[in-house]
């Protein structure tokens, strides 16, 4: 058991600016694309966190060369692409609890072939990967489960792509489709490859990120709505030279919500009008709750505009940032319902169950369903010790219950295992303290 904790005192007002760490989703996608491409890639502002460290270590174990350069303004990672041919044909890879690393990497290794084992922390072995593996093996790859069928750990051997069409379920995790899209050019050596999506595709904005980055690396993807995607043969990833990583829009949600609850203005720098991340739409949800939002090309600012209003909305498009809405709902003028969030159950922890448990500790009445959560705010927020389930977003979300809002005062809060924020935002609590007045 981890006995470390952090005590947060109540915060009367928040104000200030926060420079966001790089986006996890963009960072790990760019790392793999850079590794697979032809030429050298300079990646500016790559996220420094557990999840990117896992991907960097895996690439090094596979023989991909990279170096890190510290500059006055940040870091630049120089990656030498291997043009789809990995120097090391066998490796044992530890993937932590990084879904954004293990899923695309599994697809790449399966298509390239070799002798590779992939494993992670115990929770990673409970996070589904079966839909991806089934799609790959049906196309001719050779991926075996060495533990529970449908879940890591995995053993990848040499296979041969024998098909021109793959189909993958879209309703468990968009990362399965992301993984197949990223390796489609490696499969399309002689024939076009088409990927069909079976059922409803969730978290579409994350697929938008994937398509945007694939195109930045010089590969064209033809799209038939959200039903199918085709990559023509003979395309090879090309280095874009230098590529910048946007600030993490999911991480922005905590500071924007703080501004909406606790006065503001709070400005986040690193994302804005031009962002390729769907999670910037979180700002629109706060606006629906009555917050005042302003945006520039590379910043978003939130301030309170009176008490927050309750919300009843579909959050399928921003599942990660929606967790922040569930906590902001404590400060609203009535019950809020977050719908279509079944993917919460297969994330770093079962987030619907975890969120319901911890919200009840601070006094809320919570109704949870298979794919929704309804939060009725308490008359007063109660002091509590919050468990974080080794889930970075639980720790960051619940820092907000220390804030004084228009309708309710915050309460002193103890966050257990605060270091779990290292997954995406190691300096989170320092940044939070800076805006707390």
Task: Quote the CATH superfamily of domain 24-227.
Answer: Enolpyruvate transferase domain (3.65.10.10)
Eight-class DSSP state of 377 = P
| Structure-token pair, residue 359 | 């919200």
> What is residue 73's predicted lDDT score, i.e. its pLDDT?
87
Q: How far apart are CA 95 and CA 186, in angstroms?
A: 22
Whether 6 contacts 418, CB under 8 Å: yes
Query: What are the helix (H) ranges across 71-203?
Result: 99-112, 130-138, 174-187
Q: How far apart are CA 274 and CA 246, in angstroms?
A: 10
Nearest 5°: the CA angle 388, 24, 356 is: 25
CA 392 to chain centre: 11
| Residue 92 bears catalytic tag | no
Q: How far apart are CA 134 and CA 401, in angstroms?
A: 42
Whether 32 contacts 182, CB under 8 Å: yes
3-class state of residue 196 by DSSP: strand
Instruction: Please check whether the two domains, 5-21+246-435 and 24-227, share a CATH topology.
Output: yes
> What is residue 346's predicted lDDT score, i.e. its pLDDT?
83
> What is residue 195's predicted lDDT score, i.e. its pLDDT?
98
Query: What is the rounded (10 degree) CA torsion for 167, 134, 51, 221?
Result: -20
Integer Rg of the chain from CA: 21
Query: What are the helix (H) ranges across 88-243?
Result: 99-112, 130-138, 174-187, 204-216
Beta strand 384-386 with 365-368: parallel, antiparallel or unpaired?
unpaired
Q: Report residues of the chain scoring pLDDT below 70.
A: 1-3
Structural domain spans, the chain: 5-21+246-435, 24-227
Domain 5-21+246-435 adopts which CATH fold? UDP-n-acetylglucosamine1-carboxyvinyl-transferase; Chain (3.65.10)
> What is residue 366's predicted lDDT score, i.e. its pLDDT?
98
- Of 51, 248, 320, 391, which one is the catalytic site residue? 320
Which sign, positive or negative, has the C-alpha torsion 186, 192, 193, 199? Answer: positive
> What is residue 3's predicted lDDT score, i.e. its pLDDT?
67
Beta bridge pairs of residue 338:
313, 373
């Amino acid at each position: 058991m981890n006995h470390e904790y952090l005590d947060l005192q109540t915060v009367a007002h928040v104000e200030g600016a926060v420079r966001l760490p790089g986006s996890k989703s963009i960072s790990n996608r760019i790392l793999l694309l850079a590794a697979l491409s032809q030429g050298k890639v300079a990646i500016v502002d790559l996220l420094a966190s557990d999840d990117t460290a896992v991907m960097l270590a895996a690439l090094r174990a596979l023989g991909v060369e990279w170096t890190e350069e510290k500059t006055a303004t940040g870091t630049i990672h120089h990656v030498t692409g291997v043009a789809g041919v990995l120097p090391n044909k066998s490796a044992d890879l530890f993937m932590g609890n990084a879904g954004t690393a293990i899923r695309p990497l599994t697809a790449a290794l399966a298509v390239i072939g070799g002798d590779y084992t992939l494993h992670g922390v115990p929770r990673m072995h409970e996070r589904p990967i079966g839909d991806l593996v089934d799609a790959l093996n049906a196309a001719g790859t050779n991926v075996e489960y060495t533990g529970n069928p449908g879940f890591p750990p995995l053993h990848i051997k040499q296979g041969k792509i024998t098909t021109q069409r793959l189909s993958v379920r879209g309703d468990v995790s968009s990362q399965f489709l992301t993984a197949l899209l990223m390796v489609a050019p490696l499969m399309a050596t002689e024939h076009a490859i088409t990927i069909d999506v079976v059922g409803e595709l969730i978290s579409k904005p994350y697929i938008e990120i994937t398509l945007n980055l694939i195109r930045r690396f010089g590969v064209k993807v033809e799209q038939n709505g959200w039903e199918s995607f085709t990559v023509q043969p003979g395309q090879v990833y090309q280095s874009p030279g230098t590529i910048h990583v946007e600030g993490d829009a999911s991480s922005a949600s905590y500071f924007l919500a703080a501004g909406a609850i606790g006065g503001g203005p709070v400005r986040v720098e690193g994302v804005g009008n031009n962002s390729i991340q769907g999670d910037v739409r979180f700002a629109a949800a706060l606006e629906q709750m009555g917050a005042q939002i302003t945006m520039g090309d590379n910043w978003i600012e939130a301030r309170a505009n009176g008490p927050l209003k309750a919300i009843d909305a579909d959050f399928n498009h921003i599942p990660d940032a929606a967790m922040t809405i569930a906590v902001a709902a404590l400060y609203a003028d009535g019950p809020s319902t977050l719908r279509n969030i079944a993917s919460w159950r297969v994330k770093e922890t079962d987030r619907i169950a975890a969120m319901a448990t911890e919200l009840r500790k601070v006094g809320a009445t919570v109704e949870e369903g298979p794919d929704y959560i309804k939060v009725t705010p308490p008359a007063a927020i109660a002091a509590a010790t919050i468990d974080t389930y080794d889930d970075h977003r639980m720790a960051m979300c619940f820092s907000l219950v220390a804030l004084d809002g228009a309708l309710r005062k915050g309460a002193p809060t103890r966050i257990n295992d605060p270091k779990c924020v290292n997954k995406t935002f190691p300096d989170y609590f320092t940044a939070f303290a800076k805006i707390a007045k």
